[in-house]
Amino acid sequence: MKPIILAIALAGVFASAGANAQNGSEETPESMAERLVDGNARPVANVSTPAGTVYFRYHFFGNGYTWHPTNVISDPDNNRNGRTIDASSPVILETRGLAVTGAAGSSTQYVEFEHCILAGPNPLCASPQRFRFRVDPAVTATPASAITVDGSYPREIQLVTEIPLSGARIDATCTSTSGPTVPAVISVTPAWANTDSQGKTAFTITASKLRLIASSGPAPSGKCTFQPTGGSKLLDVTVQGERIAPSLQITPSLVSVAAAPAEAIDQVVTVKTASPVAANVKIRASCSNEGTPATVRLDGGTTPAASVVAEKMSDAAGQVSFRVIAEKLVSITDTPRIRCNFNVDGLSPVYQYTAAGKRINPSFSLNPAQITQSGSTGVTVTMNPSYAGFVIVPSCTQQNTTLSATPSTTQTNASGQQLFNIAVNPLVITNPDTSVVPAASCRFGISTFLSPTLQFRTGNACAMALSPLPAQCGAPAT
């Protein structure tokens, strides 16, 4: 009689469960041996089959999802209940619409099986086995590649389940790795989104400052993480920048003025990045003179200066060009140079271009070489070799006369000539003391390099063979 009483008790349990299901509520059975099976999938229920089992009775618990078991006979009054066709046919537990549960599975959505044996005219069902549904999908991204260059990149994020999971929320966050002097800037939009009918949704990752110009330290990097709400699995889309410290190649690196007269160099200097070749990096040019009177202009500048600075971004080939105009590269007192230092902005190594001048030892000639009359006379001083832009300085002495040498032009012209106005008065005096005569001389030059002496023809009228002598000379000696 005990088996009959147990059968009646179990039947009462099933009847109660069915009634509660129809009323929209569920009873939670007592704790028992449990297994986890994937939800939103078609797992096989591997139900233990004790000896004598002829079929299994089942019951689904929980709401908010649908179930479609195979190889079963459903209860027409309550489709939560039913029985398997026999004890040997596998039951496929197809479910849809389950929310993400994480690795632990759901505590309210599950199915139970009881094995049933024949005991007299009625089956005896007992020993329920519970299968809890777990939805903890893997996350994938398309494309799956890492982001390595500044820009905006779409990513299709999918929750991987056997039966697509729609309406599931995926949260997105981005972080930058600390350490680089200038960290990457990474963001993602939207901050969250729900999956479509295929279990997919779209995000856009935007990254900048992925290239760091520095001689040491880590490269900028970070990641964007995608995780379904409630899930234990996540996906990281890697953002990996680079740290570069390109060297520079300068062509040409040294240019000298020609042996023939010249005082300027107009040169296009090509600056190319190397190791690695780097496009769109700022290259700085700083040019200054070493020794007067050299001057420099960069890229069409109109005003020569002792120092200039310019910056340019390298092109797709990783190079830039600067037009360097070095002027006044000829000097008498020293050897003038223009030196340009080039460096990648943010790096200390400096690469140089030098425009080298020359030091000369000039000579000077005068035209005329002698002044024979009082008043103003133009004198041309010619520098050999001939260079423009030099200032020739006069140096004059006089006695018993007045003398001045005034530049008519401020510096030498292209022929190396500078003009002076020589004013002298008088060259001839009248003095009874015939030993008294005017004296005058001028020399022209630069530094210690001087011209021949400009001669002046002077005299005393009283010492000249004049007839008659000027009255100021007095009576002639007898």
CATH number at residue 352: 2.60.40.10
Total of domains in the chain: 4
In a domain, 472, yes or no: no
User: Residue 52 is part of which domain span?
Assistant: 2-134
372 and 329 share a domain?
no
Query: Distance between CA atoms of 142 and 385, rounded to whole angstroms?
Result: 75
347 and 299 share a domain?
yes
| Residue that is written with structure tokens 């902005």 in the block | 345
332 and 281 share a domain?
yes
Q: How far is CA 114 from CA 11, 27, 200, 292, in A?
A: 11, 16, 38, 105
Peptide bond connecting 252 to the previous residue in cis, omega within 30 degrees of 0: yes
Query: Distance between CA atoms of 349 and 247, rounded to whole angstroms?
Result: 8
DSSP string across 113-167: EEEEEEETTEEEEEEEEEEEEE---EEEEES-PPB-SSEEEEEEEEEE-SS---S
215 and 257 share a domain?
no
251 and 206 share a domain?
no
222's enclosing H/E stretch is: strand 221-228
List of residues 6+ apart from 110 with CB closer than 8 A: 34, 60, 61, 62, 130, 131, 132, 133
In a domain, 353, yes or no: yes
What is the chain's pLDDT, residue by residue, as a tens digit (478 residues)? 333 222 323 333 333 333 333 333 333 444 467 899 999 999 999 988 888 899 999 999 999 999 999 999 998 888 899 999 999 889 999 999 999 999 999 999 999 999 999 877 788 999 899 999 999 999 999 999 999 999 999 999 999 999 999 999 999 999 999 999 999 999 999 999 999 999 999 999 999 999 999 999 999 999 999 999 999 999 999 999 999 999 999 999 988 876 556 778 999 999 999 999 999 999 999 999 987 788 999 987 888 999 999 999 999 999 999 999 998 888 888 888 999 999 999 898 899 999 888 888 999 999 999 999 999 999 999 999 998 889 999 999 999 999 999 999 999 998 999 999 999 999 999 999 999 999 999 999 998 999 999 999 999 999 998 888 898 898 665 5
- Tell me if residue 48 falls in helix, strand or coil: coil
Length, in residues, of the chain? 478
58 and 113 share a domain?
yes
In a domain, 475, yes or no: no
The arrangement of strands across the sheet holding 44-45 comes to 44-45, 91-96, 66-69
76 and 152 share a domain?
no
Q: Which of 92, 110, 134 finishes a domain?
A: 134
In a domain, 338, yes or no: yes
